[in-house]
Structure 1
Amino acid sequence: MDTSERQPRKQGWRFVLLALVLAIAISGLVRSLWVDVYYIPSESMEPLLGTGDRILVSRTAFASEAIQRGDVVVFDGRGSFAPLSSGKGPLVDTSAAVTQWFGLTGSDTTYVKRVIGIPGDHVQCCSSEGRLTVNGQVLEEPYVYPGDEPSKQKFDVVVPEGRLWLMGDHRSRSADSRGLLGAPGGGMVPLDRVIGRPVQIIWPLDRFAEVPRSPQAEPSKNGQ
């Protein structure tokens, strides 16, 4: 094969490599600014989100509208639900970040939970009927996993300014704000740690569906 034949082939590989680098760069930009992909590693948000689901998360969902009770949020749990550092070393952290970026594994520091209390809310469990109350009134929770109690753990908290009280829908399988009452921050997650809102299940295909925004979870006017 002469030089004239090798040159176009070499240029072709360069073009493919450049296109691949450009595609990754554009994908990274889109995922850092607008929409990202996350893997659900646990059953804590069943029945809405199941183990193994891949979800699209809108990073701009709360740009023009405040987070409200009932919203499902994806958030960075470092400093609240997880340590600031994994302690596993940079090589392990980098490898984990790559598989998480491609949606192959879940993250040890990224969580999906439902907003139960917003800043200023007084959240308690449980009422005489075994229900959660917010600001003294029973909270209607149609999203809770069938057969689960609102919470087996009792708590009585006031959500500070700039923080959220978060719980999973599968209450008996969820590690959430309830388990961090004695930790720094008391299980409250800073608002600026919220990454976005799940908007679509993209995998597996038999679960492909939109994740609708829940109506604002208002306490019942009838319950006490």
Structure 2
Amino acid sequence: MSTGTAASSRPSRWRRIRRSPFTHLVLAIVLLSLVQATVIKPFQVPSESMSPTLESGDRILASRVAYAVSDPGVGDIAVFARPESWGARPERGVLRTAVGWVGDIVGFGPSNQDALVKRIIGVPGSTVRCCSAEGHVEVDDRILDEDYVVHDLPFTPGVNDCTTAPQSPRCFGPVTVPSGEYLVLGDNRANSADSVVGCRGTLPAMVDCARFVPRADIVGKVVTVIWPFDRARLFTDGG
């Protein structure tokens, strides 16, 4: 009699566990974490360096799958963890770390991941410089069409360019991108601490003035803005 009672209670207990709101919450967190670790992850834009393409505070989605099947390409907007060569990461207390852990899981709120967002301009082995006679960035001697750049550094051919003294602060390079690394620039060139912030206006280029992003630090390709709703948009190749 007691054996039968114990046996019959086990399915009942299992049903209670399956129906428990706590169990559903745990499963939802695990599923959400798996999706963000392997498929797509939300981020908050941390600065104005990509304005007006991305504004500070915009919520974006970065596809992890995109770079699982192909390498990052010129024109991609990429999310990457701040490389060590880009400066120390901020220190956080226990409470802030705990809140950030929750934010990393659900995709909203503070995050513990010190992620940056920039546009890929140079891929491994390519040579990037600025400027052409008209003030444009060149990659392997090919002028880039960058209609997404609205706020650029001053450049006036024959008056304030790469041949005048002083040089235009827009000028840099040529910089050759090392194997396994990428050169990134912000769309807001007049206010962007990017790969060549230490190289501008120093032609001929100083040795080791550029800082790059290792492939391992690139998290994903930005595919959409999801918040605020009035800025929601999808990104095609080249932004």
TM-score tier by shorter-chain length is 0.7 to 0.9
CA distance in 1, matches of 2:234, 2:188: 20
Segment of structure 1 superposing worse, 128-137 or 148-157:
148-157
For 2:223, the equivalent position in structure 1 comes to 199
Q: CA deviation at 1:206?
A: 1.6
Alpha-carbon distance, 1:144 to partner: 0.8
Alignment-derived partner of residue 148 in structure 1: 152
Q: Give the secondary structure class of the aligned counterpart of 1:165.
A: strand
Alignment match of 1:35 (pick from 40, 52, 58): 40
What's 2:76 paired with? 71
Residue deviations 1:4-57, cap 9 Å, x none?
xxxxxxx69x71111111111110111111111101122211222122211111
| 2:100 and 2:109 in contact (8 A); partners too | no
TM-score by length of 2: 0.74
User: Which residue of structure 2 aligns with residue 158 of structure 1?
Assistant: 176
Deviation at 1:140, TM superposition (A): 1.9
State which of 156, 160, 171 in structure 1 corresponds to 2:189.
Answer: 171
Q: How does 1:1-224 map to 2 (within 5 A)?
A: 15-83=20-88, 85-89=89-93, 91-101=95-105, 102-105=107-110, 109-145=114-150, 147-149=151-153, 152-156=169-173, 157-179=175-197, 186-214=210-238
Which piece of structure 1 moves more, 178-187 or 41-50? 178-187
* Deviation, structure 1 residue 90: 5.1
SS at match of 2:197: helix
Cα deviation, residue 73, structure 1:
0.6
Per the alignment, in what secondary structure is the counterpart of residue 63 of structure 1?
Answer: helix
CA distance in 2, matches of 1:155, 1:209: 32
Stretches of 4+ moved more than 6 A in 1? Answer: 182-185
Letter in 2 for 1:165: L
| Counterpart contact for 2:77–2:222, Cα < 8 Å | yes
Distance 2:111 2:49 in 1: 13
2:46 and 2:116 in contact (8 A); partners too:
no
- 1:210 aligned partner, one-letter code: L
1:114 Cα deviation (Å)?
A: 0.4
2:40 aligned partner, one-letter code:
V
Q: Which SS does the other structure have where 1:47 is aligned? A: coil
Consecutive unaligned residues in structure 1, runs of 5 or more: 1-10, 216-224
Aligned partners of 1:169 and 1:37: how far apart in 2?
20
Q: Describe the SS at the equivalent of 1:179.
A: coil
Shift of 1:91: 4.9
Superposition CA RMSD, Å: 2.9
Whether the 8 Å CA contact 1:39–1:100 is kept in 2: the answer is: no
Equivalent-residue separation in structure 2 for 1:140 and 1:160 (angstroms): 24
Change (3 A) 1:128 1:185: closer
The CA deviation at 1:70 is 0.7
Deviations 1:42-99 (A, max 9, x none): 221122212221111110112222211111111111323342x534455544433434
Is the 1:75–1:193 Cα contact (8 Å) retained in structure 2? Answer: yes
C-alpha separation in 1, matches of 2:56 and 2:207: 27
* Total equivalences in the alignment: 204
